[in-house]
């Protein structure tokens, strides 16, 4: 039974332009890498979906790109503040892969520290728009970094089981190179658990809720 829980902020750290928000985990299950939590942003009516970035003992970490009012409010939290969180939600990555390669773009790096740790530090290729953004690559072991105008798809080695997260054009380009890649998609989400139908996308010709069927979908 899912319940919204109040949790304390343990730390707020800058990682390039992003913020690593560390929350007390308590008894919460961090879930499978690629799953997400809904985080209540102070002053905003609706919570915001965030992928689990790190899950050390007793903590849940979220890497946040401050792109609008909700994400900015989350980045402005201070140690000791309390916020409501709900999760883990959705479907994460399938971990039964033989030759994993993590492929990420921008804030799409967010689920990879936890994913990399779970898979034993596989190779990763991470694309960013600047060296400042690329500071987030330090959170992922064995990562090769591509900075624009070089794209991750220019440096992606063949012959791997690709697990990807990033902006839609990057995911489409990855899918063209690796037709069986697992891709983490985004859609606006109001509830995160299937009730509002705000995140409906077309999957294999059917309309599905991305928060229930995804966010990670196999493309094959
Ligand atoms: C499953 C999932 C996991 C996510 N994980 C992370 C994460 O780990 N770190 C992180 O920084 N962000 C993550 N996001 C995106 C994050 O939830 C949004 O950026 C945030 O909700 C925007 O809220 P806001 O109030 O700051 O900005 P808003 O004002 O709501 O939006 C700012 C801009 O982003 C667009 N936008 C907002 N939400 C989405 C969306 N879901 N998909 C595409 N465009 C959107 C808006 O149209 C607008 O242009 C995730 C989204 C999903 C669906
Ligand atoms: S976010 Fe409400 S149904 Fe998916």
Burial 176-209 (b: 16+ CB within 10 A, else e): eebeebbbbbbeebbbbeeeeeebebeeeeeeeb
Nearest residue to 137 (alpha-carbon basis) of 94, 180, 105, 172? 105
Report how far ligand 1's centroid is from the alpha carbon of 49 (Å).
Answer: 7
Residue 51: closest CA among 186, 213, 196: 186
State whether the beta carbon of 156 lies less than 6 angstroms from ligand 1. no
Query: If residue 119 lies in a helix (H) or strand (E), which one and from where to where?
Result: helix 112-119
Pairing, β 124-128 against β 59-64: unpaired
Distance (angstroms) between ligand 2 centre and the Cα of 190 equals 6
> Per residue in 128-167, is it b (16+ CB within 10 Å) or e — as a string?
beeeebbbbbebbeebebbbeeebbbeebeeebbbbbbbe
CB 140 within 8 A of CB 125: no
pLDDT for 205 equals: 85
Residue 47 is encoded by which pair of tokens? Answer: 């919570």
Low-confidence ranges of the chain (pLDDT < 70): 219-220
Residue 188 neighbours by CB under 8 Å, 6+ apart: 198, 199
pTM metric for this prediction:
0.96
Supply the pLDDT for residue 219.
65
Instruction: Note the pLDDT tens digit of each residue in 50-63.
Output: 999 999 999 999 99
The H or E element that residue 177 is part of is helix 168-177
CA-194 nearest atom, ligand 2: 3
Residue 25 Cβ inside 6 Å of ligand 1? The answer reads no
- Cβ(25) – ligand 2 distance below 6 Å: no
For residues 174 and 40, what is the distance between their CA atoms, to the nearest angstrom?
32
Q: Does the C-beta of 192 come closer than 6 Å to ligand 2?
A: yes
C-beta separation of 84 from 6 below 8 A = yes
């Amino acid at each position: 039974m899912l319940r919204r829980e109040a949790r304390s902020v343990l730390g707020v750290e800058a990682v390039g332009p992003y913020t690593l928000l560390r929350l007390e985990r308590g008894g919460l299950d961090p879930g499978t890498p690629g799953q997400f939590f809904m985080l209540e942003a102070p002053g905003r009516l609706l919570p915001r979906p965030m992928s689990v970035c790190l899950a050390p003992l007793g903590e849940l970490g979220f890497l946040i790109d401050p792109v609008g009012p909700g994400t900015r409010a989350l980045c402005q939290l201070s140690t000791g503040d309390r916020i409501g969180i709900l999760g883990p939600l959705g479907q994460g990555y399938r971990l039964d892969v033989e030759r994993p390669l993590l492929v990420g773009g921008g804030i799409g790096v967010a689920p990879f520290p936890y994913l990399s740790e779970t898979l034993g530090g596989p190779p990763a290729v991470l694309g960013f728009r600047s060296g400042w953004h690329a500071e987030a690559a330090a959170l992922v072991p064995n990562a090769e970094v591509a900075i624009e105008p070089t794209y991750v798809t220019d440096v992606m080695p063949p012959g791997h089981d690709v697990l990807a997260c990033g902006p839609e054009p990057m995911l489409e380009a990855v899918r063209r190179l690796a037709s069986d890649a697992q891709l983490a998609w985004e859609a606006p989400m109001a509830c995160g658990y299937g009730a509002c139908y705000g995140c409906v996308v077309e999957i294999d010709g059917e309309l599905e809720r991305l928060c229930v069927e995804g966010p990670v979908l196999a493309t094959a």
